[in-house]
Every structure is written in structure tokens, then in C-alpha cells.
């Protein structure tokens, strides 16, 4: 088993990673009867995409002896109605500019094949941008 999710009431869950014991909380968003005081379940999906992309890039960067420390991903999730679902995820990555162009392409290709990206429904529009601008 990977995790355990416990419903706390008032549209809130506590999610526990069983191996590490780490936890996080989710709340229903304000636009769906919730308090919006934490990530919503759909926020975690969209954020998981960016986290997966940076993690996969980090693994390959380590192999290439490239330091991606400080790289960021700004995530925007768009919702649709009827049925309520994620319709679009935008991920804007900002990465160190000192990386050779050949390695930039390798790292981008790795990110574009991350497991979360492949696991998302094909109807979800994914807009990914890479900016190699960080000092």
C-alpha cells in the first residue's frame, strides 16, 4: 500500500505516505462548497505533474552532472463543468540558463515523458513551457 487517506469531515482529507509518514491535507475548493484552505484534490494532480517533470529532469541532470537546484514550475489548473473535471494544466518551468543546448533538449525530452504526464487523460490539455533563464 502506498498511502492512506482519511476523511476528516467538512470536505477535508488527511493524506499519509505510509513509507515516510509524511502527510498533507486537502480541502474542497471554495468554488465547490469547500473552505479552500489547502490544496484541492485536483490541485494535487496538476501540481504532481510539475513535481514529476522536475524530478525526472533532476534524475537525468544528476547523471549529466548538471545542477538544476532552484528550478521552478508555475502551475495553473483550469476546470470544466458538466462533468466537473480538469480541462487544462499549464506548467511553466524556469531552469538554469547555463545548461548547454544539447542537454536542455535531453532534459526537456525526459520531462515530456514523465509518468504523470502519461497517466493524465488525453482530453486534458497540457501546455508546457521551458524557460532556461535562471542564473
The pLDDT tens digits of the residues spanning 77-133 come to: 999 999 999 999 999 999 999 999 999 999 999 999 999 999 999 999 999 999 999
Cβ proximity of 75 and 47 under 8 Å: yes
Cβ proximity of 91 and 127 under 8 Å: yes
User: Residue range 52-74: average pLDDT?
Assistant: 97
> What is the predicted pLDDT for the residue at 135?
63
Q: Provide the terminal-to-terminal Cα distance of the chain, rounded to the nearest Å.
A: 41
Q: Examine the pLDDT at 134 and tell me if it is beyond 80.
A: no
Domain 41-134 has CATH 3.30.413.10: no
> What is the predicted pLDDT for the residue at 121?
97
User: Residue range 47-71: average pLDDT?
Assistant: 97
Record the pTM.
Answer: 0.94
The structural domains of the chain, with segments of one domain joined by +, span: 1-39, 41-134
Output DSSP code: residue 80.
E
User: Residue range 7-18: average pLDDT?
Assistant: 97
pLDDT interval class at 29 (50, 70, 90)? very high
Residues whose CB is less than 8 angstroms from the CB of residue 111 and which lie 6 or more positions away in sequence, other chains included? 53, 54, 56, 57, 93, 117, 128, 130
For residue 99, the SS3 value is: coil
> What is the predicted pLDDT for the residue at 103?
97
Tell me what the pLDDT averaged over the chain comes to. Answer: 96
Amino acid at each position: 500500500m502506498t498511502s492512506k487517506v482519511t476523511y476528516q469531515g467538512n470536505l477535508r482529507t488527511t493524506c499519509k505516505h505510509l513509507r515516510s509518514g509524511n502527510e498533507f491535507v486537502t480541502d474542497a475548493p471554495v468554488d465547490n462548497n469547500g473552505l479552500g484552505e489547502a490544496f484541492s484534490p485536483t490541485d494535487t494532480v496538476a501540481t504532481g505533474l510539475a513535481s514529476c517533470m522536475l524530478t525526472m529532469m533532476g534524475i537525468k541532470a544528476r547523471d549529466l552532472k548538471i545542477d538544476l537546484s532552484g528550478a521552478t514550475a508555475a502551475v495553473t489548473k483550469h476546470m470544466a463543468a458538466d462533468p466537473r473535471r480538469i480541462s487544462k494544466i499549464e506548467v511553466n518551468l524556469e531552469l538554469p540558463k547555463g545548461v548547454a543546448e544539447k542537454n536542455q533538449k535531453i532534459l526537456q525530452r525526459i520531462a515530456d515523458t514523465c509518468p504523470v504526464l502519461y497517466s493524465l487523460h488525453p482530453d486534458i490539455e497540457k501546455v508546457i513551457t521551458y524557460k532556461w533563464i535562471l542564473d
